[in-house]
């Protein structure tokens, strides 16, 4: 077995896309993806006001700046509408929620697609946080210009 223990909510997993129809249609040929495990089989997930709730409790992951990540609703996760993860599957999301193609768009991940648990990061792009802050500043400006 590749696991010393079963995958847990919050783990970062590497998996093959060979069994994910939506991805295979868009980019034929299996690829490797890396995403965070958000939902286990039977879990209920929903987005509410930028927060992610799993089984009714707020699920928090800190970004590179130490602040909690915000989650966007789209695809399977609609604002304030619960989604239940099917048996034999995981619900995966990218930490860059606003730009991540993940289970919200391509559906639940079959358990058998998981290759291994990610456990070590050897490179961190320090510019990521600056770019995120710049995007947020521009979005606020667009909103303020729109509402005035």
**Beta-sheet strand order (sheet of 51-54):** 57-59, 51-54, 44-48, 83-84
For residue 80, give both structure tokens: 């304030």
Sign for the CA dihedral angle at 18, 95, 73, 60 comes to positive
User: Does the structure show a pLDDT above 60 at 120?
Assistant: no
Sign for the CA dihedral angle at 100, 59, 140, 125 comes to negative
Which pLDDT score is estimated for 122? Answer: 47
Q: What does the pLDDT look like over 128-137, one tens digit per residue? A: 667 767 777 7
Q: What does the pLDDT look like over 29-83, one tens digit per residue? A: 778 888 999 999 999 999 888 888 999 999 887 776 777 777 777 888 888 899 9
**By the 8 A CB rule, do 111 and 88 touch?**
yes
Mean pLDDT, all residues of the chain: 81
End-to-end CA distance of the chain: 59
């Amino acid at each position: 077995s590749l696991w010393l223990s079963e995958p847990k909510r919050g783990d970062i997993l590497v998996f093959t896309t060979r069994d994910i129809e939506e991805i295979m249609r868009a980019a034929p040929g299996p690829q490797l993806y890396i995403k965070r495990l958000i939902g286990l089989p039977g879990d209920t997930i929903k987005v509410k006001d930028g927060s992610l709730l799993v089984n009714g409790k707020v699920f928090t992951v800190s970004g590179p700046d130490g602040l909690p990540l915000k989650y966007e609703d789209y695809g399977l996760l609609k604002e304030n509408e619960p989604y239940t993860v099917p048996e034999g599957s995981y619900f995966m999301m990218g930490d860059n929620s606003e730009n991540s193609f993940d289970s919200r768009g391509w559906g639940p991940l079959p358990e058998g697609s998981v290759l291994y648990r990610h456990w070590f990061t050897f490179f961190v792009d320090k510019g990521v946080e600056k770019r995120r802050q710049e995007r947020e500043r521009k979005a606020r400006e667009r909103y303020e210009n729109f509402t005035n």
